[in-house]
């Protein structure tokens, strides 16, 4: 696969006709085009875009899980404001990407960190908890580069537990745990047929590729400002994320009582409106500061909220911790240094 | 501890492999390769041994900070008793004699042999009577929604530990009736006259051993485990103050006073993510706390942290989750301490069982409920709900461990360790 990709990167076209060249590029570590040197501290076009292969979609207990994979990818882990690039290693077979969502609402579930168990003929091959992750073509998913011993048929179990975040409405009826069973027919040649292309003109410039059009996968987008429930107080930019503040006049669905209003802060990626989970947010509402609770709601989608006494006048949103999910290329320099956003009703 | 030379590591790597392989051949090979230094025998009067089976600390070596040094080689046997009825008095006598042989053959120390026998909730179901109220011994369960372990239900468990692999192997063979004498002591009774072995688990702990055993699944090919690491994850554990005292984990009242409970789990480790994807800043932050990561508090494996792991420097876990988006494993455990010490006494060790890097997490506590409470703290579920910390991500070491087995056992005092009844009337 690596040989093949190197050839493709070097300008060869077509996937066939390379037999006989094997062995020439075995030690060549060029698995992806080099990173753009001067990357903006913002969302930017990556060097290349890859599609993905779907091993299957399974539904159980109100959840759906897709098991998808593509070429090994570089990505960045985030711990606080510290980032760590995870480079592609020669032993990596694929970038495996389970996506889990709620069937009824179509909401992608960013709070159920799945565990992947891969076996072959009953023997253990791999046990891995893929990282929560965001990429431009995939949106929010769980992902990791993993090694498989070779072509073959693998049994894959994706186990998810109870939600970590607060959930409301129909999403509150979450199962305590669910296991999805897949069969993965992996061949290197099939992986190598996954289409991909470079972005020679756009790479490194501000912008983002669109969500891959996969009928079976939800887009992990939050509602547009116009579609967001409640009265939108305003929005602002922070670390290249759009932060929209809305107020609902009845907080009862969120545990705040019907006499209270509900302040919801909905951060999203620019261009694709992807949800931005795993942030630490607080808000100063008319002079009083309070923590916001990450909440998954069928209508608002993923947001950060709190009940407030009455419709607020001025709201300042503070980013106490930037989103802690891992980033694919194009997101690793954004959503890190995040300033306050102030809106006035 | 002999962490003196490369040759020492080679030798110990070999003896570890011997325990994992087991059997007569392994023992013979082991003895052939080793200097035949004699191992001290047990006392003539076995009544002089501590009544607490878990009384190991006084009989372990200590390091320069006074921390107990864990014995290098470990074996856990899961044992099934035949049928479904209560065990017979004859069988109890056989078990008492077989275990007594171990105590006579080797001194009760790291240099000889330490052992613990425990009995499961399934075992006590054989009796009509219930366990006394002072014993908290529920059946094992999954302890996080995101784990799905096998729930072990053998009748009994035998845990052996020694600095010498050949001692562990020879003891096992004697218990199986494959040796007539053990360190010069005649073997009259064997455990296999009574039990069958349901499962055999092996492992090691101590500087050099994980590095010598890193050619296994779950560890990247780069051999990232440092030569002096006592555990696969590269850091020391079991600082005096990060362990409960033996008194604290001892059952105080009732017929099993002097006993304890054991939780015995197995987890696989993802050292690929730990070593190749995370960096040292993340490893230190996730194992200890963000303060240790930011201030380079931990040298190497953490020998510089004295007897406390310096966890008093850590913010409360919730504060760290809110301000650092990271909460360390040790940090989550800190607020569970009672009089400055945890509720559980770890006697865990690393393993290559199943061909995968793993941990056999053996823990003693007065009540199983105290283990559950500790594990709930480690889960940090509330932190994940209220901060940027994820269910596993930046949430201690949960990302890297996958619990495959859990089992609970009552560890009676030594005087009751042979097929006890729930009323403890078989002394």
ipTM computed for the complex: 0.89
The answer for A322, left when phi > 0, alpha when psi is -120 to 50, beta otherwise, is beta
Chain A residue with CA closest to B325: the answer is A80
Tens digit of each residue's pLDDT (9 = 90 or more) over B215-255: 999 999 999 999 999 999 999 888 898 999 999 999 999 99
pLDDT above 70 (res B10): no
Q: Region B308-316: what's the mean pLDDT? A: 90
Quick one: which of B344, B328, B351, B350 has its CA closest to B399? B328
Shared-domain flag, residues A171 and A250: no
Task: Name the residue facing B385 among A159, A166, A323 (closest C-beta).
Answer: A166
Q: Region B342-360: what's the mean pLDDT? A: 96
Which pLDDT score is estimated for A16?
32
Residue with token string 């061909």: B355
pLDDT above 90 (res A5): no
Asked if the structure places residue A4 within a domain, the reply is no
Which pLDDT score is estimated for A20?
31
pLDDT above 80 (res B393): yes
Shared-domain flag, residues A77 and A148: yes
Q: Please answer yes or no on whether B402 and A112 come within 8 Å at the CB atom.
A: no
Cβ-based contacts of A167 with chain B (< 8 Å)? none
Which pLDDT score is estimated for B16?
58
Which pLDDT score is estimated for B23?
77
Q: How confident is the model at residue A258 (pLDDT cuts 50, 70, 90)?
A: confident
Tens digit of each residue's pLDDT (9 = 90 or more) over B158-188: 999 999 999 999 999 999 999 999 999 999 9
What value does the mean pLDDT of chain B take? 92
Q: Please answer yes or no on whether B277 and A129 come within 8 Å at the CB atom.
A: no
Q: Please answer yes or no on whether A113 and B392 come within 8 Å at the CB atom.
A: yes
Shared-domain flag, residues A62 and A181: yes
A280 interface with B at CB cutoff 8 Å: yes
What residues of chain B, 7 to 66, have a C-beta less than 8 Å from chain A? Answer: none
B216 interface with A at CB cutoff 8 Å: no
Task: Name the residue facing B394 among A79, A161, A165 (closest C-beta).
Answer: A79
Residues 6+ apart with CB under 8 A from A164: A111, A112, A113, B381, B384, B385, B390, B391
Which pLDDT score is estimated for A221?
95
Chain B residue with CA closest to A116: the answer is B402
Q: Region A161-186: what's the mean pLDDT? A: 96
A290 interface with B at CB cutoff 8 Å: no
Range of the domain at A30: 22-198
Tens digit of each residue's pLDDT (9 = 90 or more) over A206-217: 999 999 877 788
Strands A48-50, A152-160: pairing is: unpaired
pLDDT above 90 (res B31): no
Asked if the structure places residue A205 within a domain, the reply is no
A79 interface with B at CB cutoff 8 Å: yes
Asked if the structure places residue A15 within a domain, the reply is no
Shared-domain flag, residues A188 and A231: no
Output the domain CATH number for residue A271: 2.60.40.2480
Number of Cβ atoms within 10 Å of the Cβ of A229: 17
Structure tokens, B17: 């492999």
Shared-domain flag, residues A40 and A180: yes
Asked if the structure places residue A283 within a domain, the reply is yes
Task: Name the residue facing B393 among A113, A128, A294 (closest C-beta).
Answer: A113
Q: SS3 for chain A, per residue?
A: CHHHHHHHHCCCCCCCCCCCCCCCCCCCCCCCCCCCCCCCCCCECCCEEECCEEEEEEEECCEEEEEEEECCCCEEEEECCEEEEECCCCCCCEEEEEEEEECCCCCECCCCCCEEEEEECCEEEEEECCEEEEECCCEEEEEEEECCCCCEEEEEEEEECCCCCEECHHHHCCCCCEEEEEEEEECHHHHHCCCEEECCCCCCCECCCCCCCCCCCCCCECCCCCCCCCEEEEEEEECCEEEEEEEECCCHHHCCCCCCEEEEEEEECCCCCEECCCCEEEEEECCEEEECEEEEECCCEEEEEEEECCCCCEEEEEEEECCCCEEECCCCCCCCCCCCEEEEC
Shared-domain flag, residues A114 and A235: no
Q: Please answer yes or no on whether B278 and A77 come within 8 Å at the CB atom.
A: yes
Q: Region B308-324: what's the mean pLDDT? A: 92
CA distance A113 to chain B (A): 6
Shared-domain flag, residues A154 and A235: no
Q: How confident is the model at residue B27 (pLDDT cuts 50, 70, 90)?
A: confident
What value does the mean pLDDT of chain A take? 90
Quote the strand ranges of B183-299, DSSP E. Answer: 185-186, 196-204, 260-269
pLDDT above 70 (res A176): yes
Tens digit of each residue's pLDDT (9 = 90 or more) over A264-285: 999 999 999 999 999 999 999 9
Asked if the structure places residue A218 within a domain, the reply is no
Q: How many domains does chain A have?
A: 2
Q: How confident is the model at residue A22 (pLDDT cuts 50, 70, 90)?
A: very low
Q: Please answer yes or no on whether A293 and B385 come within 8 Å at the CB atom.
A: yes
Asked if the structure places residue A194 within a domain, the reply is yes
Shared-domain flag, residues A233 and A190: no
Asked if the structure places residue A53 within a domain, the reply is yes
Shared-domain flag, residues A37 and A166: yes
Asked if the structure places residue A217 within a domain, the reply is no
Tens digit of each residue's pLDDT (9 = 90 or more) over A86-134: 999 989 999 999 999 999 999 999 999 899 999 999 888 999 999 999 9
Shared-domain flag, residues A43 and A187: yes
Which pLDDT score is estimated for A12?
32
Which pLDDT score is estimated for A186?
97
């Amino acid at each position: 696969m690596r040989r093949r990709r190197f050839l493709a990167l070097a300008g060869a076209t077509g996937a066939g006709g390379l037999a006989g060249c094997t062995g020439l590029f075995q030690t060549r570590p060029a698995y992806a085009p080099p990173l753009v040197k001067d990357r903006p501290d913002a969302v930017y076009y990556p060097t290349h875009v890859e599609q993905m292969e779907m091993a299957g979609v399974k539904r159980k207990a109100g959840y759906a899980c897709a098991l998808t994979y593509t070429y090994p990818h570089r990505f960045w882990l985030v711990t606080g404001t510290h980032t760590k690039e995870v480079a592609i290693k020669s032993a990596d077979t694929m970038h495996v990407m389970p996506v889990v969502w709620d069937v009824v609402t179509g909401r992608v579930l960013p709070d159920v960190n799945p565990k992947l168990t891969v076996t072959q003929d009953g023997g253990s091959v791999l046990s891995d908890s893929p990282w929560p992750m965001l990429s431009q073509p995939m949106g929010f998913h769980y992902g990791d580069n993993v090694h498989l011993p070779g072509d073959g048929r693998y049994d894959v179990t994706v186990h998810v537990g109870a939600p970590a975040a607060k959930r409301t409405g129909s999403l509150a009826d979450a199962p305590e745990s669910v296991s999805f069973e897949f069969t993965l027919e992996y061949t290197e040649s099939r992986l190598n047929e996954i289409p991909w292309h470079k972005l020679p003109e756009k790479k490194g410039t501000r912008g983002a590729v669109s969500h891959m059009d996969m009928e079976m996968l939800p887009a992990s987008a939050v509602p547009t400002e116009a579609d967001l429930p409640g009265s939108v107080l305003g929005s602002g930019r922070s670390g290249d994320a759009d932060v929209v503040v809305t107020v609902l006049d009845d907080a009862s669905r969120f545990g705040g009582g019907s006499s209270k209003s509900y302040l919801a802060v909905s951060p999203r990626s620019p261009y694709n409106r992807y949800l931005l989970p795993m942030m630490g947010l607080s808000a100063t509402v008319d002079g009083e500061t309070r923590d916001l609770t990450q909440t998954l709601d069928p209508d608002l989608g993923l947001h950060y909220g709190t009940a407030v006494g009455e419709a607020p006048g001025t709201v300042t949103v503070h980013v106490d911790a930037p989103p802690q999910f891992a980033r694919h290329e194009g997101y690793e320099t954004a959503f890190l240094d995040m300033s306050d956003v102030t809106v006035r009703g | 501890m002999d962490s003196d030379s490369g040759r020492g590591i080679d030798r110990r790597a070999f003896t570890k492999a011997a325990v994992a392989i087991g059997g007569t051949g392994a023992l013979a090979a082991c003895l052939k390769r080793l200097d035949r230094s004699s191992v001290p025998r047990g006392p003539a009067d076995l009544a002089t041994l501590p009544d607490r089976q878990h009384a190991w600390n006084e009989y372990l070596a200590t390091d320069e900070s006074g921390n107990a040094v864990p014995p290098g080689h470990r074996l856990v046997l899961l044992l099934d008793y035949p049928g479904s009825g209560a065990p017979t008095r004859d069988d109890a006598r056989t078990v008492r004699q077989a275990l007594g042989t171990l105590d006579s053959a080797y001194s009760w120390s790291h240099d000889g042999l330490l052992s613990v026998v425990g009995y499961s909730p399934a075992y006590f179901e054989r009796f009509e009577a219930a366990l006394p109220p002072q014993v908290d011994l529920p059946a094992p369960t999954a302890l996080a929604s995101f784990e799905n372990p096998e729930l072990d239900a053998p009748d009994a468990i035998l845990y052996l530990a020694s600095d010498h692999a050949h001692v562990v192997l020879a003891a096992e063979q004697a218990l199986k009736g494959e040796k007539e004498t053990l360190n010069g002591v005649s073997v009259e009774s064997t455990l296999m006259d009574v039990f069958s072995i349901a499962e055999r688990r092996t492992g090691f702990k101590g500087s050099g051993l994980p590095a010598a055993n890193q050619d296994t699944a779950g560890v990247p090919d780069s051999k990232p485990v440092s030569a002096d690491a006592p555990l696969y994850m590269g850091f020391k554990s079991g600082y005096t103050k990060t362990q409960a005292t033996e008194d604290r984990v001892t059952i105080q009242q009732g017929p099993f006073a002097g006993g304890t409970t054991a939780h015995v789990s197995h987890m696989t480790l993802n050292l690929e993510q730990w070593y190749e994807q995370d960096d040292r800043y993340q490893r230190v932050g996730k194992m200890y706390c963000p303060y240790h990561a930011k201030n380079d508090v931990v040298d190497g494996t953490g020998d510089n942290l004295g007897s406390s792991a310096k966890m008093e420097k850590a913010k409360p876990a919730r504060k760290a989750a809110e301000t650092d988006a990271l909460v360390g494993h040790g940090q989550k455990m800190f607020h569970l301490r009672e009089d400055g010490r945890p509720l559980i006494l770890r006697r865990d060790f690393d393993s290559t069982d199943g061909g995968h890097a793993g941990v056999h997490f053996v823990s003693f506590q007065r009540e199983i409920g105290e283990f559950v409470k500790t594990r709930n703290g480690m889960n940090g579920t509330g932190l994940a709900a209220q901060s940027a910390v994820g269910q596993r991500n930046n949430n201690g070491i949960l990302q890297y461990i996958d619990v495959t087995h859990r089992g609970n056992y009552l560890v009676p005092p030594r005087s009751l360790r042979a097929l006890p009844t729930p009323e403890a009337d078989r002394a």
